[in-house]
Amino acid sequence: MTFQPKLLLIEDSLDESGLVLQHLKQADVVPHFRRVESLINIETALQEEEWDAVICDFNFPKFSALDAISVVKKLFPHIPCIVLSGSIGEELVAETLKAGADDYVLKDNMIRFIPILKKVLKEAQLNKERKLVDSALKTTEENLRQAQKLESIGQLAGGIAHDFNNVLATILIQSEVLKEGLDPTLSSKELVEYANKAVEQIIKSAGRATNLTRQLLAFSRKQVLQTKVINLNLLIADMQNMLRRIVEENIEFTTVLASDLKNIQIDPGHLEQIVMNLVVNSRDAMASGGKLEITTQNSFIDETIAKSCNVIPGPHVLLTVSDDGMGMSSEVQKHLFEPFFTTKPIGKGTGLGLCTVYGIVKQNRGLIFVESTVNKGTIFKLYFPICEDGIETIKITEKNVATLKGTETILVVEDEEDLRDLICKMLGSNGYNVLSAATGIDALEKIKSGVNIDLILTDVIMPQMGGPELAKQTEKLRKNIKFLFQTGYSKATLLENGLDDSQIHFLAKPYPFKTLLHKLRTILD
């Protein structure tokens, strides 16, 4: 059977080229080939066609095989390169292979050429297929995790709806009380005291609603992996109310958090997913009630354990989730982290929860142990390497709020009219010169008019033209205008629209107005 590879031949001698083609023909290899003899022509040929392999002579008048290989590997690292040479020492062989050549052949031993060519082409094909498989596995893994997240949403839905209705009821009733209580016969002091009490309740309830929404979004949306330095205690404290909605009333739920706990570096969404899955697993193991406890502490993994488990030895943070439920047999424990393995009845689980936990722990160079006894309970122990870096926090105090005012010109782009008017009014009262637009197209017209604009505060998702596209169009017209994006969705929405992560200033809705003022000053200053 005729072998027909696409070969790029880097050779300045027609005679040498003919010799290579003769050897190919004798081996029943009929290539589609192209001969080039300069670095510029090499780059052009690589960009114009897709090649199976590059065959390169060693010496040229103005460059060497090392230069040629550098050009090839820079543009297309996956294309195999074979170097042909009249004579080459061991040092040059090593240097050639280090530069990226896959193999070399001496011209006085061309009998090796065809076997080597077939070998590197086969390896390149296997690598290509391996990458496709890896990509498919990665996509499948992400889809499995997303499916597991959605299962968690079902667990949350009832409790979230109940809590959200309570929040809305508080806001509605306090608003009615506030409206009815604005009696013109009351003194200014009495009105202020009366209004303050109602407004504080409304703000507090709105804060609870914000947290509920963010918790729901954190589990439902697909997010770009973003590791951060966090303290596990703070995350568990933030999750406690949500976890109590998942745990049945007949289960005693407690947390014991070490006061001196070290920080770790991990994606917070992934860590939330771990805690959620382990708590749901424990809850399901205690149908008749029991005790569920989450503990944190500093720990240490010695070199013996680290070597046997293929992790880094040294100080770690230990997260323990324990219950006194039905426990598991040794046979069940053998399959515990396998995808789709579950002991729950049909319709009660996907079998992805603990598989997801295991994958995230390993991805973050951590370690997981399980101790379980039938009818006595289960203990999950998760170890994460500590991170010496501190947590980045921004505290806005009443003292520094006065310094957050400004005189710059802000263009507010928001399709929700009431919100747009409110933001414009508040910015104006803090010294800013404010312009407004209902859509990205309206904003673009103001930009084209040449009016001075220092910063554009824009929503991300809007009719006609969203914030990301507005930013791209503005960049073409005026490069000195800064952007602050606000949205109820994740930052990933901006990254999916092709914006550079390092240049994105982002504010998640809803937010306290002082947070907006602080963000503006951070960007403008």
Give one DSSP letter per residue of 225-275, joined into a string: ---EEE-HHHHHHHHHHHHHHHS-TTEEEEEEE-TTPPEEEE-HHHHHHHH
Task: Please give the Cα distance from 68 to 83 (Å, whole number).
Answer: 10
Residue found under tokens 């990933």? 492
| Helices then strands, each counted (H, E), the chain | 17, 17
pLDDT digits (tens, 9 = 90+) for 110-130: 888 888 888 888 888 888 888
Strands (E), 330-466: 367-373, 377-387, 409-413, 433-437, 455-459
Reply yes or no on whether the pLDDT at 422 is more than 70. yes
pLDDT of residue 143: 67
Reply yes or no on whether the pLDDT at 347 is more than 60. no
CB 320, CB 295: distance < 8 Å: yes
Rounded percentage of the chain residues whose pLDDT exceeds 70 = 81
CB 256, CB 293: distance < 8 Å: yes
pLDDT digits (tens, 9 = 90+) for 7-49: 888 888 887 888 888 888 887 787 888 888 888 888 888 888 8
Reply yes or no on whether the pLDDT at 225 is more than 60. no
Residue found under tokens 């992805």? 352
pLDDT digits (tens, 9 = 90+) for 137-168: 777 766 666 665 555 555 555 556 656 666 67
- Tell me the average pLDDT across 340-345: 62
Task: Please give the Cα distance from 397 to 413 (Å, whole number).
Answer: 28
Provide the 3-class DSSP secondary structure of residue 288: coil
Instruction: Go through 255-273 and write b for each residue having 16 or more CB atoms within 10 A of its CB, e for each that does not.
Output: eeeeeebbbbbbbbbbbbb
Residues 6 or more apart whose Cβ sits within 8 Å of residue 50: 6
pLDDT of residue 233: 92
pTM: 0.44
Element (H, E) at 99: helix 90-99
- Tell me the average pLDDT across 265-275: 85
Q: Which amino acid is at 38?
A: S
Reply yes or no on whether the pLDDT at 523 is more than 50. yes
Q: In this predicted structure, which of 138-142, 237-241, 328-332 has the lowest mean pLDDT?
A: 138-142
Q: Mean pLDDT of all residues in the chain?
A: 80
Cis peptide before 268 (omega within 30 of 0): no
Reply yes or no on whether the pLDDT at 187 is more than 60. yes
Q: Per-residue confidence at 458, pLDDT binned at 50, 70, 90?
A: very high
Reply yes or no on whether the pLDDT at 292 is more than 70. yes
Task: Please give the Cα distance from 346 to 352 (Å, whole number).
Answer: 14
Name the token pair of 62. Answer: 């103005």
Q: Which amino acid is at 215?
A: Q
Of residues 68 and 504, the one with the higher pLDDT is: 68
pLDDT digits (tens, 9 = 90+) for 460-500: 888 888 888 898 899 888 888 999 988 776 666 666 666 66
